[in-house]
């Protein structure tokens, strides 16, 4: 008998990244899925494949609590959208259901300033930060520029600016405030954002398991825009250096932060042979790196999160790496402004031997603007390649295969990949 027989999982949000993947996997596990949001079913992709749908906004906690009690829901989970994660954290205790994260933990770990403090306490390098009093009194000298300004608790590169002088800093500070629910803004030394790494961890009953590391390349769509991911590749060329120098300190930090269960990703810049920690997510990242984690480490992080949401516990795992003779790559493909009117080649792309997954972000009918941020990603294409030369050939094949057109029949698709992404 399947341990999930008769179990009902309430999923908050049917359109954000990860929602469809969550519904599909839960149904494969024999779980009855319910998706709720305020959107019509035709506008909410996960609703279209769920067993049951509710037209209740994820912001309506009291209404959701009442409905979930009546429906005898066994667990609540969501995709990567931070708003819905907050609502999940609020709803689960009301229903007496498990949640991998408390509200206090979420507020602490999603705040970039709090994360930096924890890193400093554990001897982990971070970029130089400028205090608000220095900004208000114009105490940042000319030699300190350029600096970056960003919301302390935002995501998706929204509200991000690079400033070359005090006037630009003042404007950017006010802009960043518009993208933070708490009004908290971070001003830091500018690092070379083009080169970074993403480090993955899985936490089960307090045991912190290292779960892989990728090299990430970033670029800007506009000169004055935010840097966004252009390519990601597992395993990182710097993995051995990281494991021998910083990994143990990070594990201690996560333990001291009282993280008992869940998934963690950390971004660190890699400049001049040094790791400088930037931010952390106590959730899945937008590109859904639980796929490469399973590929290299045999841990299905999505299964673990679903299991915990329904039972309040997880099976035990060991930290082990699977020998693979391929690289695992993630290529974001972006869309230009316009209304997505026609999509071609998706089914053909799914037949390619190199393809692992397509993580959809936008769908038919979506209106795209010149955001210059990760909001313009159409999909994250996951694939495997034998070597760097193969990566170049596969990227070209992907862009020949899939096409997205606007209402004027203009091709909308583009990417930020070039040969520097693999050098």
Q: Report how far residue 380's alpha carbon sits from residue 342's, in angstroms, rounded to the nearest whole number.
A: 18
Q: Is the peptide bond before 235 cis (omega within 30 degrees of 0)?
A: yes
**What pLDDT, on a 0 to 100 scale, did the predictor assign at position 184?**
84
CA dihedral 413, 416, 417, 419 (to 10 degrees): 140
Q: Report how far residue 329's alpha carbon sits from residue 291's, in angstroms, rounded to the nearest whole number.
A: 10
Closest residue by Cα to residue 284 from 4, 15, 22: 22
Q: At what angle do helices 19-28 and 301-311 cross, to 10 degrees?
A: 70
- For residue 39, the SS3 value is coil
**What pLDDT, on a 0 to 100 scale, did the predictor assign at position 400?**
98
| C-beta separation of 118 from 112 below 8 A | no
CA dihedral 315, 318, 321, 323 (to 10 degrees): -80
Question: Dmax over Cα atoms in the chain, in whole Å?
Answer: 68
Q: Report how far residue 60's alpha carbon sits from residue 91's, in angstroms, rounded to the nearest whole number.
A: 10
288: phi > 0 → left, psi -120 to 50 → alpha, else beta; which? left
Tokens of 40: 């019509």
Closest residue by Cα to residue 199 from 65, 85, 57, 296: 296
Predicted TM-score of the model (pTM)? 0.92
Non-local (6+) Cβ contacts of 155 within 8 A are: 82, 281
Tokens of 355: 């393809």
Tokens of 308: 């915990």
Containing 360, the helix (H) or strand (E) segment is strand 355-360
| C-beta separation of 56 from 91 below 8 A | no
Taking the CA atoms of 276, 282, 285 and 289 in sequence, report the sign of the dihedral they define: positive
> Going residue by residue through the chain (423 aa), what tens digit of pLDDT does each one get?
689 999 999 999 999 999 999 999 999 999 999 999 999 999 999 999 999 999 999 999 999 999 999 999 999 999 999 999 999 999 999 999 999 999 999 988 888 888 999 999 999 999 988 877 666 656 677 778 888 898 887 665 678 888 888 888 888 988 898 888 777 888 988 899 999 999 999 999 999 999 999 999 999 888 767 789 999 999 999 999 999 999 999 999 999 999 999 999 999 999 999 999 999 999 999 999 999 999 999 999 999 999 999 999 999 888 999 999 999 999 999 999 999 999 999 999 999 999 999 999 999 999 999 998 899 999 999 999 999 999 999 999 999 999 999 999 999 999 999 998 998
Q: Which long-range contacts (CB under 8 A, 24 or more apart) does 44-48 make?
A: 44/14, 44/15, 45/14, 45/15, 45/19, 45/20, 45/360, 45/363, 46/11, 46/13, 46/14, 46/15, 46/19, 46/20, 46/22, 47/14, 48/14
């Amino acid at each position: 008998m399947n341990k999930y027989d008769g179990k009902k999982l309430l999923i908050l949000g049917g359109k954000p990244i990860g929602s469809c993947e969550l519904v599909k996997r839960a149904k494969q596990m024999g779980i009855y899925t319910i998706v709720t949001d305020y959107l019509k079913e035709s506008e909410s992709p996960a609703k279209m494949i769920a067993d049951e749908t509710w037209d209740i906004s994820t912001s309506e906690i009291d209404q959701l609590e009442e409905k979930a009690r009546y429906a005898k829901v066994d667990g609540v989970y969501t995709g990567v959208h931070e708003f819905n994660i907050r609502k999940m954290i609020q709803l689960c205790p009301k229903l007496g259901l498990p949640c991998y994260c408390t509200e206090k933990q979420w507020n602490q770990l999603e705040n970039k300033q709090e994360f930096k403090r924890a890193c400093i306490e554990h001897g982990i390098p971070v970029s130089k930060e400028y205090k608000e009093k220095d900004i208000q009194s114009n105490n940042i000298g000319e030699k300190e520029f350029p600096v970056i300004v960003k919301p302390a608790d935002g995501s998706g590169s929204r509200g991000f600016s690079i400033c070359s002088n005090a006037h630009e800093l003042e404007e950017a500070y006010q802009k960043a405030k518009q993208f933070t629910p708490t009004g908290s803004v971070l001003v830091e030394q500018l690092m070379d954002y083009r080169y970074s790494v993403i480090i993955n961890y899985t936490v089960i009953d307090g045991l912190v398991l290292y779960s892989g590391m990728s090299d990430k390349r970033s670029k800007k769509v506009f000169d004055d825009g935010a840097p966004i991911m252009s390519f990601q590749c597992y395993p990182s060329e710097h993995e051995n250096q990281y494991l021998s120098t910083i990994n143990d300190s990070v594990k201690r930090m996560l333990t001291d932060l009282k993280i008992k269960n869940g998934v963690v990703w950390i971004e660190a810049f890699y400049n001049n042979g040094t790791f400088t920690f930037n931010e952390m997510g106590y959730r899945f990242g937008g590109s859904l790196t639980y796929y490469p984690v399973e590929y290299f480490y045999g841990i299905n992080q999505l299964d673990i999160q679903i299991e915990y949401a329904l039972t309040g516990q997880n099976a035990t795992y060991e930290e082990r790496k699977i020998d693979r003779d391929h690289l695992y790559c993630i290529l974001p493909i972006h869309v230009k402004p316009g209304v997505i009117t026609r999509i071609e080649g998706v089914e053909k792309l799914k037949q390619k031997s190199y393809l692992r997954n397509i993580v959809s972000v936008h769908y038919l009918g979506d209106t795209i603007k010149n955001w210059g941020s990760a909001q313009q990603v159409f999909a994250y294409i996951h694939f495997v390649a034998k070597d760097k030369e193969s990566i170049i050939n596969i990227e070209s094949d992907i862009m020949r295969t899939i096409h997205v057109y606007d209402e004027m029949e203009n091709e909308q698709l583009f990417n930020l990949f070039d040969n520097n992404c693999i050098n």
